[in-house]
Amino acid sequence: MLELTGYQLQLLSELSATGLRYLVIGGKAMQAQGLPRDSWDLDLWTSRDEDDVASLFAILRERCPGAPDLSPAWLSSADRLVPLTDSTLEHQADVLTSVGHLAFGEAYAARTGVEHQSLLLPIADVSTLIGIKRVSLAANAHPERKAIDEEDIRALLALASEQHVSI
């Protein structure tokens, strides 16, 4: 079951209202796919197309007023990560502009839609989530994080098998 904080739900509502192309990825996407997965923060992968970047910049400018590097040009680049915190400085979300070698357009086309509190959320499909977890596993040197990625991959592969999804 997908569990979101008020901050996360408001952010998703703002993103959806602009028409910005984004995907929910990570632990929250696994929850939305029906897997029991503990996850506090919301991970989002956004399109780097010009219109989407403009919409994202408008939202992030309001949420990160003191971020010195934040600009449309910066958000148009690969490998950007914008951490978002609430008013108590509690980490709530990460916005990513790329995920390794994976293509956003292909992942977005394969997305699934999950309705949550009257919002239709674009969730990365199982195959994309496996690819994302493999990218994370290859890039991560921390043993505890690697173990979590390996466990996530096993759970996603089992789900793919149940759903008869080709990987």
pLDDT of 109-125, one tens digit each? 999 999 999 999 999 99
Closest-CA residue to 156 (of 69, 51, 35):
35
Confidence of residue 166 (pLDDT cuts 50, 70, 90): confident
**pLDDT tens by residue, 60-111:** 998 887 777 899 999 999 999 999 998 888 899 999 999 999 999 999 999 9
pTM value is 0.94
CB 118 within 8 A of CB 125: no
Per-residue pLDDT tens digits for 15-24: 999 999 999 9
- Architecture of the 6-124 domain: 2-Layer Sandwich (3.30)
The domain segmentation of the chain, as residue ranges, is 6-124
User: By the 8 A CB rule, do 49 and 56 touch?
Assistant: no
Q: With 0-12 CB in 10 A as exposed, 13-18 as middle and 19+ as buried, what is 98?
A: middle
